[in-house]
Amino acid sequence: MATGATRVLMDTPVWAWGVFGALILTMIAVDLFLFERRPHARGLKEAAVWSVVWVALALAFNVGVYFLKDGELALQFTTAYLLEKSLSVDNLFIFLVIFRFFGVEERYQPRVLFWGILGALVMRAILIGAGVSLLHSFGWVMYIFGAILIYTGVKLFVAKDESYEPSQTLAYRLTRRYVRLTEQYHAEHFFVREGGKLLATPLFLVLVIVETTDLVFAVDSIPACLGVSQDLFIVYTSNVFAILGLRALYFVLAGLMGHLRFLKPALAIVLAFIGVKMSLAEAIKGGLMAEPWSSRLHISTGVSLAVVGGILASAVVASLLYPKKDDGKKPQMNADEHR
């Protein structure tokens, strides 16, 4: 009998994974060897073009999902992609604070984000694979994931805005303690040799904090995507397309993140909604709800997409119509504290 991990991998043909992998590797190679040969600050036009390219690729890929699998899974891909993308927008503000805190020049920020995103793809592959396998083997795990999302949503909704201090993170303290760092940046390099010794630069410290921050984000976003679909191919590919578009999106939204005042409460409501949906779905699947309640409380993928999209769109429109008054505060930064 196939194990949970084997079974979820067998749900999708090997050639489909191959096509997906070839597409992603090609785009990464183009980005790395064509556009990142010379470190430079991403202008708004360049970032906007790349954002459109990644969204268009995701939509085109979803058309392939529709014909390879079915319309239901294509809807799941769209919902998971939209959900992951939206959660990432709020998290991009933390990246902005990290770069300002360490005084990273704009022309080197794309390099940090590039390698940070590649690391995120590996970490998320492991976490998503483990999560899907658990759900296929132990259905009751859905209740745990649902409870996590509901708790996170409530906490996010009632929590006050707090400043993020990179120097207070465990990753910062451990790296500073156990890794030898140079005193100054060395252009785009993460490691240099000084006095015959290989040393890490402050840019490597920034990369470590970006990676660990994304890992923390994944604790919320992955269960949310698993609440939309338990198909490994759908969950992982939607995550990959959303994450790979983050770097370009960061430079498009860098000046707008602070103005999306209603995004955080909207994300809180979305997370709680997905958590409730997960719990109800498992209760119905397990026969804990009899008719007519099982039919009435069943939330289809189409309804989920409409609810998630509607809430997020309303938050963006409300933020534009009722902007937050400028209080003169800016994200905290300290370019010299790491030295």
pLDDT single digits (tens) 101-156 = 888 888 888 888 888 888 888 888 888 888 888 888 887 888 888 888 888 888 87
- pTM score, two decimals? 0.78
DSSP 192: E
238 confidence band (pLDDT: 50, 70, 90):
very high
- CA atoms of 296 and 304, how far apart (whole Å): 14
* Per-residue pLDDT tens digits for 84-106: 888 877 677 788 888 888 888 88
Please report which helix (H) or strand (E) contains residue 200, including its range.
Answer: strand 197-200
* Per-residue pLDDT tens digits for 36-69: 666 656 667 777 888 888 889 999 999 999 988 8
**Beta-carbon contacts of residue 206 (< 8 Å; ≥ 6 apart):** 98, 99, 102, 104, 112
Q: Say what angle helices 202-226 and 170-178 make with each other, to 10 degrees.
A: 140
CB 245 within 8 A of CB 198: no
CB 117 within 8 A of CB 247: yes
How many residues can be counted in the chain? Answer: 339
Q: Residue 172: exposed, middle, or buried by beta-carbon count in 10 A (0-12, 13-18, 19+)?
A: buried
What pLDDT score does 209 carry? 92
